[in-house]
Chain A
Amino acid sequence: MAAAEPLRHRSDALPARVYDVTNRFRWRAMRALGLCRWLRGGTVRAFGLGAATASSALPPQDGVTVEVLDHLERLALVDFRDAEGVERLREAVRFAERLREVNTEGVEPMDSVLEDRCLYLREDDVTEGSCTAELLKNAREKVEEYFVAPPGNIPLPELEERDTFLKRS
C-alpha cells in the first residue's frame, strides 16, 4: 500500500478545528486536500469539493450523523452552532482518515513521544497545600471556603427539546 503523499507545506497539515475562529487556512487546506486526492486516485473515499453544501437528505458517508453530533454535544458540552462548525468536524475526520493508508500491522500505537522517558517518582512528602484563599480568589461564588456549584448534573435536554442547529440539519 502506498504511503501518504508527502505534504508540500506544514500548514497543509492543519487539522480543521471546530473552535477555530479564523477561516484563512480553510480554503487552502481544502484545495490542498483536493489536489492530493486527485493525484493519488481513488484510494480515499471521494468527497466532492462542495462538501460544505452537502445535501442533508443524503446520509453522510463519513459516519458523522445527527446522532453522533448530538452524542458529541452531550459528552463534550460543545455547540456545533452551524453548518460551518459541522463541516470543520467533517474535515478533521477526513484528515485523520488518511492515517488508514499507512500499514500499521504489528506496530504498537504510540500514545506519547515521552514513551522512552523515565517516569519520575516523587518522594512521599507534603510540599503543597494551605492556599485556600488563593484558590478561592477566582471563584464566582463561595460559601465559607467551599466552592459553589449547581446542584448535581443538569443533563443536556434531549435533541427534541433543545434549540440547536442540529435539529434542522
Chain B
Amino acid sequence: MAARGCGGVWRRALQRGRGGSCSASRLRRAVACNARGGAVPLGQSGLAPWAPIVGLEIHAQITSNSKLFSGSQVQFAAPPNSLVSFFDASLPGTLPVLNKRCVEAAVMTGLALNCTINKKSLFDRKHYFYADLPAGYQITQQRVPIAVNGSLSYSLCKDNKMSQMVTKTVRIKQIQLEQDSGKSLHDDARSQTLIDLNRAGVGLMEVVMEPDMCCGEEAAAAVRELQLILQTLGSSQAIMAEGQLRVDANISVHHPGEPYGVRTEVKNINSIRFLAKAVDYEIQRQIKELESGGTVLNETRAFDSKLGCTVPMRDKEGKQDYRFMPEPNLPPLILYDAKSLPANVNHQQVVNIDWIHERLPDLPSVKRAKLVELYGILPEHSFTLMNEDGLMDFFEDVVKQTQMKPKKVIGWILSDLLSHLKQNSLTAKESPISSFFLADLLNLLENGDISSSAAKQVFEELWKGEGKTPLEIVKEKQLELIQDQEELEQICQAAIDEREKEVMAIKGGNEKVINKLIGLVRKATRGRANPLLVKQILEKKLSE
C-alpha cells in the first residue's frame, strides 16, 4: 500500500557529527509532520523515517438497569457478589436471555458512528480460563457482529495551536455486544485472588477501530470524541475512571513502503492523558529497540502510570487460542427497519433500526456547529466548550442572564473561568462562581459601572466563594468607575503637575509617554478610572 504521507513534507533531523558540539537535545525527539498532519518520529540517525501505526479496541459498558443476559442489577459500587444472578455465577441449568435495551444501545452507537447495522447478527463463545470468568467462556459476537464498517471524525490542534484545527477520520471495523467479566482483587500477601462477580455479565460494546492513527495525540482525540458521542447518546456514561470505558492500544512501527512491523498490545490505561503517554512511549520504545538491532515481540504490555512506561504483562501466555464456537443457546439476533417490519408483531419484541435512527440526539459535531452559528463564536471555542465537562451548559446559562454579547462572554469563560478551574482541578459544575454571579459581574462591566481590570479583581474575590454578590464586592472595595468628570479632571491635572519631565516629552512630540501618565492616574484611582476617558482628558489638557 502506498506509504502514508507521500507527497508530504519530511523534515530530517540535523545530521550528527557536525563539529564536536552537537547537543543531544537536537537529536532526541525530532518529529516531522506528514501530509496528514500527524507527527512521525524520526530515528536518531535521521535517515529513515518511521511510520507508527496505532489501532484501538475500546470496551464501553452499556448504561442499562440490568445485565446483558440476566436480570441482575448494573451498579458501580455495591457489596461484593450482591448483584449476581445464578446465570452470572454460571450455575448449571441457567440460560442467557438477551436484554433489549443493550441491543438498542448498540444500534444507536452503530448509527452514530455511520456503521452498517447487520440485520442478522450471531453470538459466539470465546473460551479461556480465568477465575473471574465463571463459565470458562465469554459470550461475544465474533463472526457476525451487530454493526460494521463505520467511521469516527475527530479534531486535532495542529502544532498545538488552537486556531489551526484539523479534522481526521478513523474507520470503525465493527461494534459487537459482549459480556463483561468479574473483578479480581489480587492478594499477593496471602497468595490468593478475591473474586467479585458483580460486574460479570454486564453488557459491553466493543468498538474496534482500524489502525488509522499514528500517535498518542490522535488516539487520545479519537477516544475523547467517542466518549462525547457515547455520553450524548446515553448508551454509555464512558467514564474511564470508573472502568466504564476501557481502551487497549495495538502499536507497531515500520518504514513507509515496507511491510508492517510486529505489533504489541498495551493494556491498563486508565485515562485519556495516560493513553497518549502510553502510545507515545511504546512507539519510542519500539523505535529504539529496532534501531539498536533488537526485535519487537508480539506481546501484551501493561502501562505503568507511575513510571510512565510499558512493562510486559506476566499473565498472558503467548498467543491464545480461544476456540470460538457458535453460542448454541441463542438464535440469531434479527433487527428490523421500516421496510422489513412484519405485520402483526409484538412491538416489545422488535428492535426497529429506523425508529431508533429518528430519535438519535444531536451528535457533538452537530452541537458544535450549532454553537458556532447560534452564538457567533469560533469553532475552536465551541470545541473547548464541548470538550470540558459542563462548560457548555455554564456558558449558555451565563449568556441567557447577561446583556453582554456571547463573543465577549466566551473570552471570560475560556480564559478566566477555565484557567481557574484547571488550576484547581475542578469541573464547571464545581465552580465556586455560579453562572448567576458571573452574569451579574459581566452586566456591571457591560453597563460601564466598572472597568475591566476592576472586573478581574471582582472575579478573584468571587472565586473565594464567600457568597457575596458582585455588587457587594464592588461597593466593599470601592471599585466603581469614577463617573464624576470633575474628579477625573482633578486627578489628571495632579498627574500632569507631578510629572513635568513627561509632559515636556509629550509636548515635544513623543506621544507614547502619555501611557505613563495614564498609568499614574490608574494607580491614583486604584483602577476606578475609565482608561479611554482618562486618555481623552489628558490629551485635552496637554494640548491646552
Binding site for B on A (CB under 8 A): 71, 75, 77, 111-112, 114-132, 135-136, 141, 143-153, 155
Among A71, A127, A147, contact of B81 (Cβ-Cβ < 8 Å): A147
**Interface stretch among B64-72, B447-455, B492-500?**
B64-72
Q: How large is the interface on B (under 10, 10 to 19, 20 to 34, 35 or more residues)?
A: 35 or more
Given A77-B129, A128-B85, A131-B84, are A146 and B196 also a contact pair (CB < 8 Å)? yes
**Cα separation A74 to B80 with both chains bound (whole Å):** 31
Contacting residues, chain A, for B321 (C-beta < 8 A): 71, 75
Residue of A with least CB distance to B72 = A129
Are the C-beta atoms of B71 and A127 separated by less than 8 Å?
yes
Residue of B with least CB distance to A119 = B331
**Cα separation A128 to B330 with both chains bound (whole Å):** 20
Are the C-beta atoms of B333 and A119 separated by less than 8 Å?
yes
Are the C-beta atoms of A153 and B130 separated by less than 8 Å?
yes
Among B66, B83, B89, B348, contact of A125 (Cβ-Cβ < 8 Å): B66
CB distance from A124 to the nearest CB of B (A): 4
Please tell me if B387 contacts chain A, counting CB pairs below 8 Å: no
Are the C-beta atoms of B71 and A151 separated by less than 8 Å?
no
Are the C-beta atoms of B98 and A124 separated by less than 8 Å?
no
Among B100, B127, B184, B334, contact of A124 (Cβ-Cβ < 8 Å): B100
Q: Mark B323-348, 1 if CB is under 8 A from A, else 0.
A: 10010111111100000000000001
A to B CB contacts below 8 Å, 19 in the list: A71-B321, A117-B331, A118-B331, A120-B98, A121-B349, A122-B71, A124-B101, A125-B65, A125-B71, A126-B72, A129-B72, A145-B81, A146-B185, A150-B131, A151-B188, A151-B192, A152-B193, A152-B315, A153-B129
Residue of A with least CB distance to B334 = A119
Report, nearest first, the 6 A-B pairs whose CB atoms are least far apart: A111-B326, A127-B71, A149-B131, A124-B101, A128-B85, A146-B194
Among A141, A145, A151, A153, contact of B80 (Cβ-Cβ < 8 Å): A145
Residue of B with least CB distance to A126 = B73
Binding site for A on B (CB under 8 A): 64-66, 70-73, 79-87, 89, 97-103, 122, 127, 129-131, 184-188, 191-197, 314-315, 317, 321, 323, 326, 328-334, 348-349, 351
Which of A71, A117, A122 has the most chain B CB atoms closer than 10 A to its own CB?
Answer: A122
Given A114-B331, A151-B188, are A136 and B349 also a contact pair (CB < 8 Å)? no
CB distance from B151 to the nearest CB of A (A): 29
Among A71, A111, A125, A149, contact of B328 (Cβ-Cβ < 8 Å): A111
Contacting residues, chain A, for B331 (C-beta < 8 A): 112, 114-119
CB distance from B334 to the nearest CB of A (A): 7
Among A122, A126, A152, A153, contact of B100 (Cβ-Cβ < 8 Å): A122
Are the C-beta atoms of A126 and B332 separated by less than 8 Å?
no
Residue of A with least CB distance to B131 = A149
CB distance from B136 to the nearest CB of A (A): 9
Are the C-beta atoms of B72 and A122 separated by less than 8 Å?
no
Given contacts A125-B66, A152-B186, could you give 17 more A-B pairs where the C-beta distance is less than 8 Å?
Answer: A112-B326, A119-B330, A119-B334, A121-B99, A124-B65, A124-B102, A126-B66, A126-B71, A132-B82, A135-B89, A143-B192, A144-B80, A146-B195, A148-B195, A149-B184, A149-B194, A151-B187
Residue of A with least CB distance to B97 = A122
Contacting residues, chain A, for B187 (C-beta < 8 A): 151
